[in-house]
């Protein structure tokens, strides 16, 4: 009778895990430092490994692709930029304050953030995580305006939240040439104007009115004869 060979136990060493986390942080820090002074299209995993002082296989073990590295960089920047999902306001009232809070943080990390925004890999990586983020935006609209149809809540949540994102900051400051203060003023005004329009629309729906273009046109008999 053959004796059973015990299967090897999986064992995670806390020391090994801590070392792996430190190596990951060192790789991301090296990539961030590189992006502060170089274009994103010159970034490569092998180059980041050289800068971080680790071998190419080590880099690939943590980040199999450049997209994975871009996502890791952004996740590291998120707390510094105020972009964690859990910090997003739960209603419309506070949305107008986000440009004033976030745009100066974007400006502080402008070189690395601008490089990320111009990197196709960054946008591919962000799309893989977008559902949780976008759903939180929709829930914020739904909480204050439950009477809006679901499709309308989704559409309007995306539009109103676009004005405090890094992409909007980059367009206002980089393309339009606004200062950070001017960009804050413009984006805050847009958000508050859209929020006011949404509240007016919601009030109209509660009163049973529809958008003007959907209203049947009533014509008097005298008008009909003309």
What digits encode the pLDDT tens for the residues 126-141? 776 677 777 777 777 7
Same domain for 93 and 58: no
Residue 7: per-residue pLDDT: 55
Integer Cα distance of 23 and 17 in angstroms? 10
**Domains contained in the chain, number:** 2
Integer Cα distance of 218 and 212 in angstroms? 12
Structure tokens at 6: 């015990």
- Domain enclosing residue 41, as ranges: 17-64
211: how many CB neighbours lie within 10 A of its CB? 9
The answer on pLDDT for 212 being more than 60 is: no
Best-predicted range by mean pLDDT among 2-6, 74-78, 119-123, 175-179? 175-179
The answer on pLDDT for 215 being more than 60 is: no
Same domain for 129 and 170: yes
Same domain for 130 and 41: no
Domain presence at residue 226: no
Residue 11: per-residue pLDDT: 55
Question: How many alpha carbons lie under 13 Å from residue 180 in its C-beta half-sphere?
Answer: 13
């Amino acid at each position: 009778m053959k004796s059973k060979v015990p299967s090897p136990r999986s064992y995670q060493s806390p020391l090994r895990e801590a070392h792996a986390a430190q190596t990951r942080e060192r790789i991301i820090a090296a990539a961030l430092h590189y992006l502060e002074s170089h274009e994103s299209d010159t970034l490569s995993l092998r180059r980041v490994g050289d800068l971080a002082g680790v071998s190419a296989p080590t880099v690939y073990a943590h980040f199999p692709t450049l997209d994975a590295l871009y996502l890791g960089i952004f996740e590291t920047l998120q707390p510094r930029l105020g972009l964690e999902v859990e910090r997003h306001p739960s209603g419309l009232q506070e949305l107008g304050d986000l440009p004033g809070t976030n745009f100066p943080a974007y400006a502080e990390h402008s070189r690395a953030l601008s490089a990320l925004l111009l990197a196709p890999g960054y946008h591919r990586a962000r799309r893989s995580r977008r559902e949780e983020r976008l759903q939180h935006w929709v829930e914020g609209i739904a909480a204050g305006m439950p009477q809006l149809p679901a499709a309308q809540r989704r559409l309007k949540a995306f539009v109103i939240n676009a004005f405090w994102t890094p992409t909007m900051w980059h367009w206002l400051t980089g393309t339009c040439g606004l200062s950070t203060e001017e960009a804050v003023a413009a984006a805050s005004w847009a958000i508050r104007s859209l929020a006011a329009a949404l509240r007016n629309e919601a009030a109209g729906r509660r009163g049973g009115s529809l958008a003007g273009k959907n209203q049947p046109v009533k014509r008097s008999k005298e008008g009909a004869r003309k």
